[in-house]
A = this chain, B = another copy of it.
Amino acid sequence: MEKYFLVDEWNVIEEGFKPEKNRLSESIMSLGNGYMGIRGNFTEFYSGDSLKGTYIAGVYYPDKTRVGWWKIGYPEYYAKVINAPDFTSIDVFIDGERLDLAKVNFKTFKRQLNMKEGYVDINFIIADKKGHETEIKTRRFISLSKGEIAAISYTIIPLNYDGEIELIPLINGDISNEDSNYGEKFWDEINKNVDGYYGYLTVKTKKLDFHVTVSMKYNVTINGKIANNNIYSIIKEKYVASSFKTYCKKGEIINLNKYIAITSNRYYNNDELIPKGKEIVEEAFLKGFDKLFSEHSKAWEKQWEESDIVITGDAESQQAIRFNIFHLNQTYNGKDPRLNIGPKGFTGEKYGGSTYWDTEAFCFPFYLCTHDKNVARNLLLYRYNHLEKAKENAKKLGLKGALYPMVTMNGEECHNEWEITFEEIHRNAAISYAIYNYVRYTKDESYLADYGFEVLVETSRFWESRVNYNATKDKYMILGVTGPNEYENNVNNNWYTNTMASWNLSYTMEVAKLLKEKYPEKYNNLVNKLQLKECEFEKWQDIVNKMYYPYVESLQVFEQQDGYMDKEQKLVSELSPDDLPLNQKWSWDRILRSCFIKQADVIQGLYFLNERYDIDTIKRNFDFYEPKTVHESSLSACIHSVIASQIGYHDKAYELFLRSSRLDLDNYNNDTNDGLHITSMAGTWLAITQGFGGMKVINDKLCFKPYLPSKWKAYSFKILFRDHLLKININSNNVIITQEKGSELIIKVYDKEYTILKDSTVIVEK
């Protein structure tokens, strides 16, 4: 953990340049708009340590699986997030010498992410060996109002000398992934040209034929006046650029605005990419930087109006929660159901794929509660559209129904560890749970008839074929699984998996009943389409009735899996600090045979199916499992924080909230260099709204049981519940709920009902 960035409610600020922190800053200052994104790299050439990153949503490379020993069922390919052509860079030459920021002295330095308006400024004064001082100011943004647009304003001022300054805005497609195995390149050149201030480069991926055109146009002003100096084109292999050169007087202000448009064949035909790119970049160019920026910042204003969380009295938490919400909104915008939420968003290359169960289990509620319901619906449709592939996946393993992949881009599995790929099957239930969660929150039952039921039936069929009946015990068991706690592999009867599988079956049957009543015609069609038989329901009911759940009688807690209690029972507090984090200090077998838990497992079940369990049960299990949990998944602290809030462990809840919220800002796990933990950011939002705020939907009613963390003076969060935009404000005395949009609504606060009228406020004393 390190406190490197300045704390500010709306900004993350790096003051003074430390090369060893460069990658960290680059991750933190990443920008994106759901369509593309860039890391917070320097605009100028920098020969020091850096991960230059440009990413385009849905553009990936199927990298050949490499394993020590092949197992049947492994996927042939791994969907790799690939670094796309660099469009941010501007090469700078001063008096003929290329500016390399790794070789200058920074007299001043400030890199700043502004989250309110969504931009990054990098401003500094540098001195070279000759004593020449130069001031540089840059602002960049990736447009939230027009997905294909990015823009950079670049200002350079020779402070104490006259000299020749050459600026070379460029597009470079000759890039490789840092995590590539042999420096292999993923892009081939298709087309390129530079014509005056306009240029483009079209490249295509070596496999899958993703075509991307990067178009740029720029202009330069000197002291505010358009400069019409001679420019010349530079065209190299996978590279286009334009050189602008001028002889400057001391103090002259040279400003270059570079506009970029990214067009890809994910949205256009190949032959449209260049003309469409030109059209978009021309339009941006004509609007100009300020107008473009103002449209962009207005879009951010609207986002914040609907999803801001305000915390009074704790600037660190305020900064953190905004940082999390900001990046969630940068990563996914819900417009394209082919896209999902990558674990690193647009901030790095690690983990590949784009979709883990993180989406359904951790991210889904944020989008569900802070955006129009179509956003959450598109997340569900993403899985619906992959149903056939999930069926193929189950078939490949000799099973019925559908098994959704552990990691995927296009619906095909791309993870290659047997204990995860084949055994971490609880993910299937999370996908069903998201459907349940969506319908519970939105009341949009038509989704079940149109799409959801098919997913529920096929996941249920999977469970049916995956359980085995133990005749001796007259119970159904699920053998050979990995639960959410990945520090146990290939265990039998993981309580969470058994519980969620049984829940999945029950919910499918419940939905069948509902559809039969409310949508009889659609239901009949579905029965035909799915070839659904009555005996399947009978079997599912039998499994639900006779599911086996490991239980520790003596302690009255659920047993994480068969045999968990045979382990040496230790607590995290008994470990030496040298042992932590276990995943960096202990060999895998040692982790596996220890009792230590990576992330919420039994607790995850208590979180999802919370209403099933009484507070004492939840408390007993929390008391038993949390002290054994090392929270080495970024998804652990948030869920534990929600449950800790529920059982009145407010200090613990706050500690875990902090761990989740400032994970990247304070580089808790020492891995933010590689990119941000996007999916865990949603967990922070959960910790506040569901944890501190006690928000739930029970029996079709929105309920709150808020409390105020002791370090805070007040906090508020906003949610969109059906047609209602609500602001929930909690201070030391009251809970103030304001309806900002929508008509009369009955809610519950501390188990008591209140009616909020249109445009009005309810104040509940605590």
Contacts and interface: CB of A to CB of B under 8 A. Distances in A.
Interface of A: 65-69, 71-73, 78, 181-182, 396-399, 415-419, 422-423, 468-470, 472-473, 477, 479-480, 489-493, 562-563, 565-568, 583-590, 592-593
Given A468-B567, A567-B468, A584 B72 contact: yes
Tell me the number of copies of this protein.
Answer: 2
Given A468-B568, A470-B566, A473-B566, 18 more contacts: A66-B66, A66-B67, A69-B417, A72-B585, A72-B588, A73-B587, A397-B590, A418-B588, A419-B489, A422-B588, A480-B593, A489-B489, A490-B490, A490-B592, A492-B563, A492-B566, A562-B562, A563-B563
Interface centre among A66, A73, A566 (most CB of B within 10 A): A566
A308 B489 CA distance: 48
A583 B181 CA distance: 29
Nearest to A399: B590
A588 B423 CA distance: 10
Contacts of A181: 66
A479 B469 CA distance: 25
Contact of A562 (B68, B418, B489, B563): B563
Which 6 A/B pairs are nearest by Cβ-Cβ distance?
A73-B587, A422-B589, A480-B593, A71-B588, A68-B416, A479-B593
A63 to B, nearest CB: 11
A463 B275 CA distance: 71
A398 B587 CA distance: 7
Given A418-B588, A479-B593, A490-B489, A72 B468 contact: no
A639 B469 CA distance: 32
A749 to B, nearest CB: 45
Nearest to A562: B563
Contacts of A472: 565
A567 B479 contact: yes
A399 B416 CA distance: 29
Given A182-B182, A565-B472, A566-B492, A422 B479 contact: no
A407 to B, nearest CB: 11
A398 B575 CA distance: 14
Nearest to A67: B68
28 contacts: A65-B68, A68-B417, A69-B416, A72-B584, A72-B586, A397-B587, A397-B589, A397-B590, A398-B587, A399-B590, A418-B589, A419-B489, A422-B587, A468-B567, A468-B593, A470-B566, A470-B568, A477-B566, A479-B563, A479-B566, A479-B567, A480-B592, A489-B489, A490-B491, A492-B566, A493-B566, A562-B562, A562-B563
